[in-house]
Structures are given as structure tokens and as C-alpha cells.
Amino acid sequence: MVEAKRGLSSTLLKPLFPISSVVAAGLWSAIVPANAQVNVTQYHNHSSRDGLYIDSAFTQSAAANLTRDLNFDGTIVGNVYAQPLYIEGGPSGPMVIAVTESNNVYALNAVNGTIIWQQNVGAPVPTADLRCTEVGSMGIIGTPIVDLASRALFLNAMVTPDGGATIKHYIISLNVDTGAINPGWPVDVELTAQYNGTTFTAAVQQQRPALGIVGNILYVGYGSMADCDLYHGWLVGVPINNPASVTAWAAGTTNGTYGGGIWGVGGVASDGTNAFVTTGNTYNTGGVWSGGEAVIRFQPGPIFSGNTSDYWAAPTWFTMDQGNNDLGTSCPLLVDVPGATPSQLVVQLNKGAYGFLLNRSNLGGITDAVYSLQISNNQLIQAAATYQTNQGTYVAFRASKSTLSTFRITATSPPTINLTWNMSQNGCGSPWVSSTDGTNNMIVWAVGTGSTGDQRLHGYDGDTGAVIYAGGGTNETMAGTHSYSTTGIVASGRIYVATNNKVYAFKLPAVPTPPSNLVATVVSSSQINLSWQDNSDNEQTFQVFRTTSGRFRKIAVVGANVTFYSDVALSPNTTYHYKVRAHNRSGNSAFSNIVSATTTP
């Protein structure tokens, strides 16, 4: 039995486990009212894994002047491979949740980056005690998920209670507002997960993919550590209100087969009813499909029906196995394309540089995709994003270690893929997208990641690829990013990126403070002079509005720091009403007071 410790520390990270003991979001987001609560509860913001964030402040002109908030602390301990989360509605105000490979979990104040609570959930497994690893020691790697109804944070941690001799995967639930462990948790995966006579072996499984929740079931996917040992692709389901009842499915469990890892960083996708995962290479199959190189839809549990409508594998899956053209390098991306037949799609990318369009209503079994196209000359390892503009439905993807690309899905029967734009940058992580309303001001974002990357944030026009944000200045450089794993989020006028030992916050320039004390002085029958008080230090212009009755209309624009305007060519003996506001790339201030003046006869 695992004994969990409660209690938090404001200075030291206390182990949650003693050393001696072992919704569905729609596929497209609705417009969020300005005063609505903002929450980023999961990887790429929605269960479809679209990576789309709606924030009315993120106009393209405002985003061009993004800067890092140097007053945001964000200090954490440990390497980071998971996306941060953003949670509102708690007693401590908005929080950024970050997890590290050192098994440290943090809730940071979303405004200043100080620690609200912190928790260590057990000693990570040292590199020397892993049979193989691509990331060093092993702790929390996959992106957690929050269930807002229960205010519960769910994560998976690889831990050792005895310096590496014993290795465990624990699925853990914490109170997101306090960090305290919730009753009935953790779940010891090795003691509870079995499928088709196969038992989960914690020491050979890696938990890289993001967690998902469908209905009241938490889903956690597992793959390998660098394809070594006799691993399986596992999907483990845990009811969030009954963690003692565990259901599991595994790939490659017949006649000596193994593999089929679930390892794409985007993890478990959902249409609100069913979980979708993608599996990778399998071994010793003899050409008999055993769950690998596939997109699979699960009934609640997870239960795999085996029906052809619930899975897809290419007719060349066995060749893909042999050539390491792994389908599992990316998670399923659920996309709706209005006007296409079929319109409800799964977009799947593979290591072999192909993009596949699948019919989400009937995946089809082992059969050709609805459409497929080679979309890169490099291995595709990442989590893609998708968005819609007036030009159509796009997918943004990491085409190489230094290339961000997009394609448009045609609204045809069948839908096809048209490559649109690509941009070279110094390093490239998994992309995400911001928009002011779900259609306009679309910006595709990516970090220049990895040891050769520029460690900067980059933003591009969603339709054209034109540069919106070129990385900023010296203060905007980050450190400790990781190739395809590093991605960011957008929340409440900010972008947050979690890297090794640090969470960075980027902010938009503030809207100017409105001018005041507007005064109108009559000069003659044809001229009125206006003056006002400049209360802002970041305006670019002042806009002057006038009316004689009814609607105000803009009549003039003057430069920054200008506090005077002469309105000429007016009519005699006429009353005019005026108001003024300040403007910069982030938007308009409120208006000044309204004044009235009447020209002389």
C-alpha cells in the first residue's frame, strides 16, 4: 500500500510518498466573453488537440509588440517536457501549473510567477537505473490534465522509493488549489493494469503523451523508452470518482508480438464521447496486425471493439513497421471541415513525412486513407495544430527541426491536402494558434527549440505565413527548451512557455490610459480649438471624434504626446460635440469626457 503525505511547504519540496514506501470541448472553440473565466486544462487547450486559443487582446498588431514580463518570476526546479496549464476560479487567483522531470509540481501566481504551492510526488528514476532513455532521469514527462468540476489535477509520475531498485508508475490526483493528494489516489499502474494476459511492467514503459479525460474517465497512454525492451502501447483508464476500478488495453499482446507505443506528445484526443490514440511500430508480427501503426477509437473503458469503423491502419503498415516510419510520432488531430465529404476528419501525420486524412465516423480498418500526401522531406515528430479562417481549414505542423509549415484541407469530396506556407526558423517546437474570435487575427506560434534553436518565440500570419512576431530583443530569449516537446499556451492576454527550471510569461503592450480634461475653445465662426491631458506613456496616436447630433465620427488623428487640435472649416452658429481617445497596437483607450462648443454667428 502506498501511503500519501499531505502538507505543503513554502520553501522546501516535500515528497508526497515517503522514501521508505512504494468533457468534452467542442472541436472549435466558442467566442469567450471578455469577463468569462479562462482555463487551459489540457494539452493544446481542447480535447480535439486543436491548439487554438481565443483571446480578444491578441490582435496581430498587438502581438507584434509582445515582450517578456521581466517581473514574472517563474522559477521552478527540474527539466520540463510538458505543456503548462492555466487555471482560474480558485482561492489564490489565476494559476499556472507546471510539472518537471524531477517530479516537482508547481502552482504559480499567473501574474507575478511566485509559488502558490509546490509538491514533490516522489524520487524520479535515475538515468543509471533505466534500461534506456532519451531524456535522462525519468519523472513527470506527459502533460497533466485538470477536471474543473472536482478541482482535481491528474498526472503520471515515474518514481523509485529505493534509489532505482524498484520502479513505479503512479497515476496521481492532487487538489489543484492546494496540491494535497485526493482520497483514493495514487494508482499503482503495474499492480492494476492488465490486458489479454499481459501485465504492465513499469520499468520499461515511458509516459510521454498528454493525459485526457472523456466523460468521467481519465486516460493515460504509455510507450517505450527509445524502443528498447519488450514494451507495449498501453492505454489505461481510471474513473476519476472510483480510482480502484482500472481498465486497460495494450497493443502487441499476441504470439510474442510487442511494441505499438502510444508516445506522441499530444496524447489522448477525444470527440467528447470516445477517446482516440495513435500507436507506433510493432515487432514480431509476421505481417499479422496486432494494434500497431494505427489510429484507434475506444469505447469508454478503454474498450477496443475491433470493428473496422473503430480503427485505421494503412495497407502498408507492415512496411512502415520495418522502415520505422512510425505513425505514433503525432497524436490524432480531430478536425471538422465544413463543406467536405466526409467533413468529420482525423488528421494523422507520421515519421515517414506523410499526412493522412481519415473519416472519423468510419475509420475503415486496414485500408487506404481518405487522402494522403507527402508533406515534408523530414521525419514528422510533434503535435500539430488546426484552425479555420475565411480562407479555409488549416493544419500547422513542425515539418522539420527548423521548419514550421501549414496545409489547407479542401472542402471537397473527398477532401484533399494543399500545402500552403512554410517558414524556416532556428529550431522549431510544436505549434499553437491564437485568434481574437476563432476566425480573425489568426497567429501560428512556435518556439525556436533545442540545443541549436534560438530559444525565441515566433509568430506568423495564419493565412500567409508573414512574420508577426520575430522573437523580440535580448530580454525575450529563453533557455532550456526541448525540440518538439516545448509548446506554449495563451491565457488572459499572455503567452506562457515552460522550460527547464523556468516558466516564462510574455505580455502584450497595455492599452493606453484614456485622456482627460478635454476642453473646447471657440475661436471664430469656423474654428474650435481642443486641448486635453495626456495620461498615458504608451500611446501611438490620439483620435478625435465629433458630432453635431447622433453618432460620433472620427475626424482627426494626431501623434503621440500631442494634446492640441484645431477644428477648422466649421459652420457658423453651430453646436459641436467632441471626445478624444488614445490608441496603440494593443487597442483603444476609453474616451475622454465629452465637451460641447458653439461657433459664433
Reported confidence tier of residue 127, pLDDT bands at 50, 70, 90: confident
Q: Which residues of 273-290 are buried (b: 16+ CB within 10 A; e: fewer)?
A: ebbbbbbbbbbebeeebb
pLDDT per residue as tens digits for the range 79-96? 999 999 999 999 999 999
Segment 534-547 shows an average pLDDT of 95
Q: Give the list of residues 6+ apart from residue 306 with CB closer than 8 angstroms, or none.
A: none
**Residue bearing the bigger pLDDT, 61 or 15:** 61
Percent of the chain with pLDDT over 90: 88
Residue 20: band (very low, low, confident or very high) from pLDDT cuts 50, 70, 90: very low
Distance, CA of 62 to CA of 206 (rounded, Å): 40
Query: Is the pLDDT assigned to residue 569 strictly greater than 70?
Result: yes
For residue 205, give the H/E element and its range: strand 205-206
Q: 31 falls in which pLDDT band (50, 70, 90)?
A: very low
Element (H, E) at 547: strand 541-547
**pLDDT at residue 163 in the model:** 86
Look at residue 176 and tell me whether its pLDDT is greater than 60. Answer: yes
Q: What count of other Cβ atoms lies within 10 Å of the Cβ of residue 12?
A: 8
At residue 167 the predicted structure's pLDDT band, cuts being 50, 70 and 90, is: very high
pLDDT at 4 exceeding the cut of 70 = no
What is the rounded CA–CA span in Å between residue 233 and residue 7? 35
Segment 377-384 mean pLDDT: 96
Please tell me the predicted confidence (pLDDT) of residue 573: 97
Asked if pLDDT for residue 26 goes beyond 80, the answer is: no
Q: What is residue 128's predicted lDDT score, i.e. its pLDDT?
A: 86
CA atoms within 13 A on the CB side of 50: 26
- Give the mean pLDDT of the chain: 93
| Rounded Cα distance, 282 and 224, in Å | 11
Q: Distance of CA 28 to CAs 50, 112, 213, 418, Å? A: 8, 31, 18, 21
- The CATH T-level fold of domain 516-598 is Immunoglobulin-like (2.60.40)
Q: What is the rounded average pLDDT of the residues 431-438?
A: 97
Q: What is the mean pLDDT of residues 568-572?
A: 97
Mean pLDDT of 325-335: 96
Cell digits of residue 524: 471664430
Q: Hey, CA dihedral for 523, 525, 527, 530, is it positive or negative? A: positive
Average pLDDT over residues 445-458: 95
The correct CATH number of 52-507 out of 3.50.50.60, 2.140.10.10, 3.40.50.300, 3.90.1170.50 is: 2.140.10.10
Does a cis peptide bond (omega within 30 degrees of 0) precede residue 414? yes
pLDDT in tens, 464-505: 999 999 999 999 999 999 999 999 999 999 999 999 999 999
Specify the range with the lowest mean pLDDT, choosing from 226-230, 240-244, 283-287, 393-397. 226-230
Confidence (pLDDT) at 135: 84
Confidence of residue 133 (pLDDT cuts 50, 70, 90): confident
* DSSP-assigned beta bridge partners for residue 239: 217
pLDDT of amino acid 164: 85
- Model confidence at 358, pLDDT cuts 50, 70, 90, reads very high
Is residue 217 predicted with pLDDT exceeding 90? yes
Separation CA 235–CA 221 (nearest Å):
5
Q: Does pTM surpass 0.85?
A: yes
Please determine, for residue 22, whether its predicted confidence score (pLDDT) is greater than 70: no
pLDDT at position 18 is 36
CB atoms near residue 341 (< 10 Å): 12
Question: Could you tell me how far CA 443 lies from the centroid of its own chain?
Answer: 14
| Residue boundaries of the structural domains of the chain | 52-507, 516-598
Average pLDDT over residues 307-315: 98
Q: How confident is the model at residue 13 (pLDDT cuts 50, 70, 90)?
A: very low
The neighbour count for residue 63, using CB atoms within 10 Å, is: 26
Mean pLDDT of 206-212: 97
